[in-house]
Structure 1
Amino acid sequence: MKSEKIIVKNTMYSILKTIATIIFPIITYPYISRTLNVTDIGKIEFSRSIINYIILLAGLGINTYAIREGAKIRDDQQKIKIFSNQVFSINILSTVFALFFLGLFIYFIKYFNPYRELILILSISIIANLVSREWLNSIYEDFKYITLRNIFIQVLSVIFMLIWVKSANDYLIYAFIIVFSSLGPAILNLFYTKKYTSLGVSKQLELSTHLPPILLIFAINLSTTIYVNLDTTMLNIFSGDYATGIYSASTKVYGLLKSLVAAVIIVMLPRLSNMVGKGHLRVEQILTKISIVIILFVAPVCFFTFLLSDSIIDILASKAFMAASFSLKLLSISLVFSSLASFLTTSVLLPYGKEKKILIASVFSALINFILNFWFIPRYTYNGAALTTIIAEFSMLIISYYFAREYFKFTNVLISLFISVIGMIPGILLYVVINIFKLSSFWNIFLIGGFGFLLYLLIVYRQMRISNFLEKMNT
């Protein structure tokens, strides 16, 4: 019971943080998309995709590894201090190597000359990720601090943007503000994380102990990052900055929705790892409850995003980005697969130490994405990129479930899936009726999305109560 209360509390903080993470882009992106031009936004997004690869190289698999292993020994101050210092020292070495690699990359490959200034600015985030040591906060499940800190930094970022980003010429200033959103938390963490343990550089790295699992997680993260970022990178190479800018509008919405689902999942990892480490038998019950929450939440989000993609793009970006509407519809379908796959890898396979299985699924999905991009993107540009994302995420889901079926059965949540489908029916009726009146984008989202989601919640609540009652009767 105590574990469930902690999970609920942490989930609420994490969801609050993610809601803030979603609300602020909803405020800022319409402003940016109307202030900067599509091509400059495309340059920024392409540069960010390159930096994401370097951040991955610098971080290896340290963040996930530190959370998982640190959660098991967090009650032993001596062990956690030694472990933290060793992990941090490894991270310093990997970051130095990554920065050296980035320097060679942008100065010796001519294609990146137009993006060099942007990439150099955004590379500050690489240092921020090192000094942040966010994994310490996650090990001790300090999601209250993480939430309040992130909201504070996001408020400052919005203020800076409104003050200094005034025209299309200010896209470099916008890049600095993007960097501040990661540098700010890192600076605060430098002081805050001292409450857990004093961090320093360790001479005894125990590479033989730490490096194999870290590199395994890195390989998983690399393959995942490839099929998440590769579409933007290859789209820029095949179709240019303008197409990348258009696609950024749909991926922005897609990313926001994925982060909301991830907030529910990631807070479970320390607690689940701790329970698995202690041999608790109730893990499967908790996993079933988590999966039900994910299904009942993700299904309507994907459904209403698909229905209202035109209105969402119109409000979140502008009419200059309306071409992104269909790719958003495609990505809304992908969200179903990616959310369930993320649950299986993060909440099922990872706590049980099945990193090699995750790696197989990730590599296979990344290869599918990479190969299909060569055919779809030159022909269908941003819509082709979205389509390959669907196929890659679906592959990830199928393979992950194959490996996770020993610990978790989707048959346990089929009733919840059926209830979710029933709850969407009023949304379809609302969409058909309201579209007759040709209302504005705002009213479409408010009436169809708002009332549709409210009716969905009422139907799901009623059906779940009936389902629980029948289950108790059978018991």
Structure 2
Amino acid sequence: MKKMTTNYIFVLLYQLLLIITPIFTMPYVIRVLMPENVGVEAYVSSIVQIFTAFAALGMGDYGRKVIASVKHKQDLKVEFYSLYLVQSFFSVIVLMMYLIFTFYTEQYQMLFLINILVILSYVFDITWFYTGQENMKNIMIRNMVVRLGSMLGIFCFVNGPDDLAIYVWINAATLLLGQLVTWLPLLRNLKGFAFDGAKARMHLKPVMTVAIVPIITLIPLALNKVILGNVTSALDVGFYNQAFKLMTLFVVFVTALSTVMSPRMVKQHNSAKKEDFERSTYFSFRYVALSTLPLVTGLIAIAPLFIPLFLGNAFQPSVLNLQILAPALFFSGLVGIFGLQILVTTGKNKSYAFSVFIAAFISLGTNFALIQSLGSYGTAIAYVVFTVMTCVLQAFFARKYFSIKKMIRQISPYIVASFIAYLFEAGTMYILTGIPSIIIIAIQIAVGGSIYFGTLLLFRDPLLLKGWKILQSKIFRKTFEER
């Protein structure tokens, strides 16, 4: 339990850093590069993302599960290199295809050339090894340093609209550097190479099954944006993409939870510890509801003031985009539980892939139906449809491992508390006029947070009560030691 808590803290710190750095850099970059260049960067990135999905192969989810299942240390080296052999084979092929695409592309060719570093970073990505080992400390500390270096580089070298290529290079180079530094402790610990062709072939089929998920996910994540850019303009892509980035920034708590819980649940499932597995599942439901629902209502409430303040008045269309996208935070959290923590853990890879496949094509149809009349708002609706449908389908396939009635009973207090908090947050904006937006937003957050946690305390929420007891015990112990 102590190891899991330590891992969670380091993952959460890194994820919080992912929030903090854009809060500093995004307003600066948007004002320096201008909305048109921001839209171009978003358009290029969405195409690059198509190649990275093929390069990643879904190895993160499958590799983490396999590494977590290794019981003897002597088998670890063979298992790792067998998995990496599969990953490197496909990612190098994707790299070659990307090079061909780049040399035959005339528009934005320089930006595509720079993004070769992004494809290379996926060739060397072994994050799944550390998460499977439940050893996140080293990798997170190294990535924190690299991330801070990236932020410093942006402020030092990106000074005008002509520096778009420099901005893309800084992001791509630091991503690659972050992957390369994770190899140093691994090579030191494993000491040598151990390839097993038979094991690699054994991993091939399940890897390809899981790989369908990130490839199909390209439809709501990247292809819909490419379609938006072709039907409307790169500027419209920029409006949507900035709202999407802001929404995904706040998924940190869920990301940290899934990263830490998945390996632990693999061990619980393999050891036939049914009660522990169920306890972990229901804990995840509560945690996702606790952490995402107030963010959903909070983002909807503060978006009208926050977007102009944070991104500038030129990004006014991003307000409604963010409000539409906000509910996807909660459904993405549930998808992490149903998909990664249950279906992948229990070996139901086909059900996992099928649910994403169906949801993605429903999302694509929604995008085509709405994009002509609604523009970026249609793409935002299509993404929410994707998360909702994925959640519903995966819940159906995972129904054997949880009770829907118990889940609803557990998350309902958080729904009520979030709705009450939203009413106060929205009311605050209408009552307070004539004062700076940043002060109104701060008051909205303070009022909303107080109402939310106060309501949960009235409900005697077990997570809050447990956290309060832990805090009390630590304060008491510290006071006792000082005496």
Instruction: Report the TM range for the smaller structure's normalisation.
Output: over 0.9
1:396 deviation in Å? 0.8
Q: What is the CA–CA distance in structure 2 between the aligned matches of 1:283 and 1:298, rounded to whole Å?
A: 22
Instruction: Say which SS state the counterpart of residue 460 (structure 2) adopts.
Output: helix
Q: What is the CA–CA distance in structure 1 between the aligned matches of 2:5 and 2:409, rounded to whole Å?
A: 23
Determine whether 1:160 maps to 2:119: no
Aligned to 1:139: 132
Aligned to 1:343: 337
Relative distance call for 1:72 and 1:318 in structure 2 (3 A) is same
Q: What is the CA–CA distance in structure 2 between the aligned matches of 1:346 and 1:284, rounded to whole Å?
A: 14
1:16 deviation in Å? 1.4
Aligned to 1:17: 14
C-alpha contact (below 8 Å) 1:220/1:355 kept by paired residues? no
Aligned structure 1 segments of 4 or more residues deviating by more than 6 angstroms: 466-469
1:93-242 to structure 2, matched below 5 A, reads: 93-108=89-104, 112-198=105-191, 200=193, 202=195, 204=197, 206-242=199-235
Instruction: Say which SS state the counterpart of residue 113 (structure 1) adopts.
Output: coil
Relative distance call for 1:64 and 1:466 in structure 2 (3 A) is closer
Moved more, 198-207 or 8-17: 198-207
Relative distance call for 1:199 and 1:306 in structure 2 (3 A) is farther
Relative distance call for 1:467 and 1:283 in structure 2 (3 A) is closer
1:17-416 to structure 2, matched below 5 A, reads: 17-73=14-70, 75-108=71-104, 112-198=105-191, 200=193, 202=195, 204=197, 206-281=199-274, 282-416=276-410
Q: What is the CA–CA distance in structure 1 between the aligned matches of 2:313 and 2:375, rounded to whole Å?
A: 19
C-alpha contact (below 8 Å) 2:77/2:193 kept by paired residues? no
Across the aligned residues of Structure 1 and Structure 2, the Cα RMSD in angstroms comes to 2.0
Q: What is the CA–CA distance in structure 2 between the aligned matches of 1:200 and 1:142, rounded to whole Å?
A: 21
Letter matched to residue 165 of structure 1 = V
Q: 1:258-282: per-residue Cα shift (whole Å, max 9, x none)?
A: 3442222221111111211121121
Q: What is the CA–CA distance in structure 1 between the aligned matches of 2:34 and 2:124, rounded to whole Å?
A: 34
Determine whether 1:440 maps to 2:436: yes
Instruction: Say which SS state the counterpart of residue 401 (structure 2) adopts.
Output: coil
Q: What is the CA–CA distance in structure 1 between the aligned matches of 2:87 and 2:192, rounded to whole Å?
A: 12
C-alpha contact (below 8 Å) 2:52/2:119 kept by paired residues? yes
Q: What is the CA–CA distance in structure 2 between the aligned matches of 1:444 and 1:409, rounded to whole Å?
A: 41
C-alpha contact (below 8 Å) 1:77/1:197 kept by paired residues? no
Letter matched to residue 366 of structure 2 = L
Letter matched to residue 431 of structure 2 = I
1:233 deviation in Å? 1.6
Instruction: Say which SS state the counterpart of residue 308 (structure 1) adopts.
Output: helix
Structure 2 gap ranges (5+)? 466-483
Report how many residues are paired: 462
Relative distance call for 1:124 and 1:323 in structure 2 (3 A) is same
1:61 deviation in Å? 2.3
Relative distance call for 1:57 and 1:200 in structure 2 (3 A) is farther
C-alpha contact (below 8 Å) 1:29/1:317 kept by paired residues? yes
Determine whether 1:419 maps to 2:413: yes
Instruction: Say which SS state the counterpart of residue 406 (structure 1) adopts.
Output: helix
Letter matched to residue 435 of structure 1 = Y
Letter matched to residue 265 of structure 2 = L
Relative distance call for 1:199 and 1:379 in structure 2 (3 A) is farther
Moved more, 460-469 or 36-45: 460-469
> TM-score, normalization: structure 2?
0.91
Q: What is the CA–CA distance in structure 2 between the aligned matches of 1:368 and 1:198, rounded to whole Å?
A: 48
Relative distance call for 1:406 and 1:184 in structure 2 (3 A) is same
Q: 1:269-308: per-residue Cα shift (whole Å, max 9, x none)?
A: 1111121112112100111011101111111000100111
1:465 deviation in Å? 4.7
C-alpha contact (below 8 Å) 2:428/2:440 kept by paired residues? no
Q: What is the CA–CA distance in structure 2 between the aligned matches of 1:121 and 1:375, rounded to whole Å?
A: 35
1:453 deviation in Å? 1.4
Relative distance call for 1:321 and 1:279 in structure 2 (3 A) is same
Relative distance call for 1:203 and 1:412 in structure 2 (3 A) is closer
Q: What is the CA–CA distance in structure 2 between the aligned matches of 1:466 and 1:200, rounded to whole Å?
A: 48
Aligned to 1:429: 424
Moved more, 129-138 or 321-330: 129-138
Q: What is the CA–CA distance in structure 2 between the aligned matches of 1:381 and 1:98, rounded to whole Å?
A: 32
Instruction: Say which SS state the counterpart of residue 21 (structure 2) adopts.
Output: helix
Aligned to 1:473: none
